[in-house]
Structure 1
């Protein structure tokens, strides 16, 4: 069935331009299925499932590793699972890990693989995977087609090695799905663990503080329950909290935060002032009521978001493997290592209903002492600065411009068998969002979020740097929606430089990926129709390997696909100038006061 221009315009009109409420950038799966039915496809395509994928680098174990050792952790179907208990399975370390002495340090790479199929009509659904209450993966399902779809997600979970090697626990998966006469898709999924091991003759202990944590404390809701294990933050004043007592011999602490936006805040970056609370959001973490850190979220677009055809078959950045956000809490150990329970509170600035938030507290323990001592030296956290201006033209066209900035810095010392280390952690944020609404239906959003992180751990007596990390994250987003055309361009740019006695020399890691997607009404010889396509470039460069991919889709077909794992000559990152230039950037940031008091 051909899809008329009028019908497409009607569907795109579901993106309202009202400024009094949150954006509803959604086309229902039923309407999408109708559009899908009108797209031409070859007989072979019509008879076999479509493979959806998020562009990502292949996960390679370090040289000399053995494996993989693969274990199916859970196999389940998710039909009418909304408000039902998560699917669970008993977990114990796989026999191959037991053969390694159940040693977390023996693991060189751990990969969690989610592989699923679905057929029919269905919304995209958020889901999570937890082990012993610690979240390992948050993801979004693909929206199915009548002929069926398949997709998989592979995530590096090596940093959870202590959980994988611990005793018996429970694996839980929550995917709240709804099946009825209209929405028929049932998700069938397998969750598999792939382990690789360091070869025994060359095995050396991982360096302190920079290896996977010795203990991971989950901060989530506990089983049993009829929902996901995440906390639900329902508005701007809602604070979800939990109490935790730290082991007395901790010498480093990092809080890993999972956060995703849903409901009225799914498209928070399009929200306007007033009832929609504007476009700025941040996830805050408070310890005993005092701000300890913040994360400014990446604008994840789910597979049914804005316009579902945009994400078929190449899904949006982060949609299958939602990012997490690390907050360095080591400088605050002087407040936390008192043997008492401390309250960790999670909130979302300007939130509408709702956000799913939980966290994992990664702790490194001193094997040489029963207790460490620590103290806070300095803490600086000026108030958040947010400014919004509104410009209204004579014809009623309106432009909103919102900026925000924040800096959080803390310095503290910890005395352990490793020495007396002073750690400074500084994070600065900037945010810029312009939203132009015209003709009552057209909307253009241009947004950038930039975060700088600096962590320096030095010996108080000698000044030796034990570990230092400088990182920059850039989240650009451009959205242009018109009557007969929707364009989305977004990207992820992350650069990390690490060095110090506990690092094997200066290490550089860079990921730059940009995705441009468009859907529009086009004229065809036999009537009107819908055309869409995506182009994505992905470049990962690091001292231990590189990966490049340039892929383009047209409709459901892959028009071109080029990839390689070739690094620039000498291992220096191409186009960046190598590790030296990155360290100079870190030094410049340091001198500017971005990473050290």
Structure 2
């Protein structure tokens, strides 16, 4: 087995080395893209808004990010704009990076300790100074925004003679007033110790982001919005292998199962899947010209239903809500926000957990291997990682409407196969991974049963192949397919009241070329296609596709398959996959 220093490095080494050009993302795909342009082109929708003029509150304007310091700002709610009751609240942010060389950087915005934006930035090139816009629906955080507070923007960025890209950013909140204000949580509580806001680092599966809270005595529903972003040694966690196979496969150890764990007072309370976000410098930066991978610039939180614990959380005692990442191997950046609904007609709610089958089901995957080395020292075979759990958490709360029984039932699964072929001239690793969650939340008051179902899939198919030529030069070819598939439905007495379908799929390919000394000489075969589709049972329909070849836009379509060949989104829809507070009817 020859030249393993070059051929057998695996993805862990290569993806962290190359600082090539990046791409950008617009807020919506209804902009008119230019065929043949290397500029950003995405299929993602923007946040749909109600008709009428928005009240605008600027958070910061044209701030420079050229170091690792924070950028503080003060916030005050808009005056004369719906008296604190809004149909919709949208965060809108614009970024740019000067031409030059720079890593992708993590970007977060905060207010009163609560995260209001989480994403990453673009890698520029000598010829391209990328600029982009992101939007996040913050309607569910309206209670936070009714009070003045302190916030900060954090984009840690190193600028010197080598890394020259300077990041600039501006952000504002758009408030849409009017009748029929949205049903939103009554309180929002940040997890974490920083009163202004920052992520917590989880280096191992035992590390926790924890906050002890004393909540109101009349909680009737509770949700936790969770972000877990892989960085450092965990950036390419989805390609890692169990420690016992790391040396022979030339890959990172620690395995590739990751799952967020939520607990209340040490009792397992829920799980959240970990999305394998790939940044614009990831694996091969040319893959992401001119379209980044799924959610790269604008992460969506995963919402965990903690409503069965409402009675317990209402007892007036302090309770610890904690978040960890099973399998974390250095490191994850994490944050979370607890969203609470209160009983408007009762000062005290009581209740208990009556069943919790998640307790006693530790997240330990089953590992299998068919790896084998032949007489010539060539390695081939698969490593499989499997985990599937079904659990139910049930509790009741005695409210002003009587006893409410709340149940969360979930089936969570992780299926991964890492296929390897390693010989004297070839290193091939093929990752086929699927993270899945099927959940049903119900609330029963007497004979009345409301339900919310959600089916989430994170498919990832990644093939990475290095081949050495006779003259010692070599190529590194990547083909990748990644997506999010999500289905939701709200029902009453078995009748579906509202349902949604979302599919966001990206397919990309490129080959990097190196001479015999390992110097980068160019790339070939770049192509990239993203297709985005959303519809619901109340007439919303959105479809857009973008394709590129050789790093420039080659095709763009929108509205195909929608009535009249046009996109239409209702103002209350959430086509970006953002969590929805209207999972069940307002109390």
- TM-score, normalised to structure 2, is 0.82
2:147 is matched with which residue: 155, 163, 167? 167
1:553 is matched with which residue: 541, 548, 552? 548
Distance 1:14 1:73 in 2: 49
Q: Secondary structure at the match of 1:112?
A: strand
> Cα distance 1:15–1:421, how it changes in 2: closer, same or farther (>3 A)?
farther
Q: Secondary structure at the match of 1:278?
A: coil
Task: Show CA shifts across 1:317-345 (max 9, x none).
Answer: 01111121111111112322221111122
Q: CA deviation at 1:529?
A: 4.7
- Equivalent residue, structure 1, for 2:457: 474
1:421 aligns with 2:404: yes
> Cα distance 1:529–1:174, how it changes in 2: closer, same or farther (>3 A)?
closer
Q: Secondary structure at the match of 1:66?
A: coil
1:409 aligns with 2:392: yes
Distance 1:538 1:240 in 2: 34
1:450 is matched with which residue: 410, 432, 436? 436
Are 1:117 and 1:188, in contact at CA under 8 Å, matched by a contact in 2?
Answer: yes
> Cα distance 1:304–1:179, how it changes in 2: closer, same or farther (>3 A)?
same
Task: Show CA shifts across 1:200-257 (max 9, x none).
Answer: xxx3465xxxx22111011123147xxx611110112222322111111111111111
Distance 1:92 1:528 in 2: 50
Distance 1:301 1:528 in 2: 22
Distance 1:13 1:316 in 2: 27
Give unpaired runs (5+ residues) of structure 2.
23-32, 247-252, 467-474, 514-520, 569-587
Q: Secondary structure at the match of 1:506?
A: strand
2:81 is matched with which residue: 83, 88, 99? 99
1:534 aligns with 2:528: yes
Are 2:312 and 2:353, in contact at CA under 8 Å, matched by a contact in 1?
Answer: yes
1:369 aligns with 2:369: no
Q: Secondary structure at the match of 1:334?
A: helix
Distance 1:374 1:357 in 2: 30
Q: CA deviation at 1:500?
A: 2.9
Distance 1:189 1:302 in 2: 19
2:162 is matched with which residue: 163, 168, 182? 182
Structure 1 residue runs of 4+, over 6 Å off?
none
Q: CA deviation at 1:24?
A: 3.0
Cα RMSD (Å) of the superposition? Answer: 2.8
Are 1:511 and 1:540, in contact at CA under 8 Å, matched by a contact in 2?
Answer: yes
1:57 aligns with 2:45: yes
- Equivalent residue, structure 2, for 1:583: none
- Equivalent residue, structure 2, for 1:386: 365
2:134 is matched with which residue: 153, 157, 162? 153
- Equivalent residue, structure 2, for 1:113: 92
- Equivalent residue, structure 2, for 1:23: 12
Distance 1:50 1:568 in 2: 31
Distance 1:367 1:188 in 2: 44
Q: Secondary structure at the match of 1:272?
A: coil
Q: Secondary structure at the match of 2:140?
A: helix
Give unpaired runs (5+ residues) of structure 1.
1-9, 35-44, 574-597
Matches within 5 A, 1:189-338: 189-198=169-178, 203-204=179-180, 206=182, 211-223=183-195, 229-274=198-243, 276-338=253-315
Q: Secondary structure at the match of 1:482?
A: strand
Bigger fraction of residues in helix: 1
- Equivalent residue, structure 1, for 2:582: none
Matches within 5 A, 1:556-595: 556-564=551-559, 567=562
1:87 aligns with 2:71: yes
Are 1:15 and 1:23, in contact at CA under 8 Å, matched by a contact in 2?
Answer: no
> Cα distance 1:416–1:54, how it changes in 2: closer, same or farther (>3 A)?
farther
Q: Secondary structure at the match of 1:159?
A: helix
Distance 2:212 2:563 in 1: 48
Q: CA deviation at 1:139?
A: 0.3
Are 2:38 and 2:289, in contact at CA under 8 Å, matched by a contact in 1?
Answer: no
Distance 2:552 2:177 in 1: 38
Aligned length: 516
Are 1:444 and 1:479, in contact at CA under 8 Å, matched by a contact in 2?
Answer: yes
- Equivalent residue, structure 2, for 1:7: none
Q: CA deviation at 1:456?
A: 0.6
Distance 1:424 1:236 in 2: 27
Q: CA deviation at 1:567?
A: 3.9
Distance 1:15 1:112 in 2: 44
> Cα distance 1:15–1:422, how it changes in 2: closer, same or farther (>3 A)?
farther
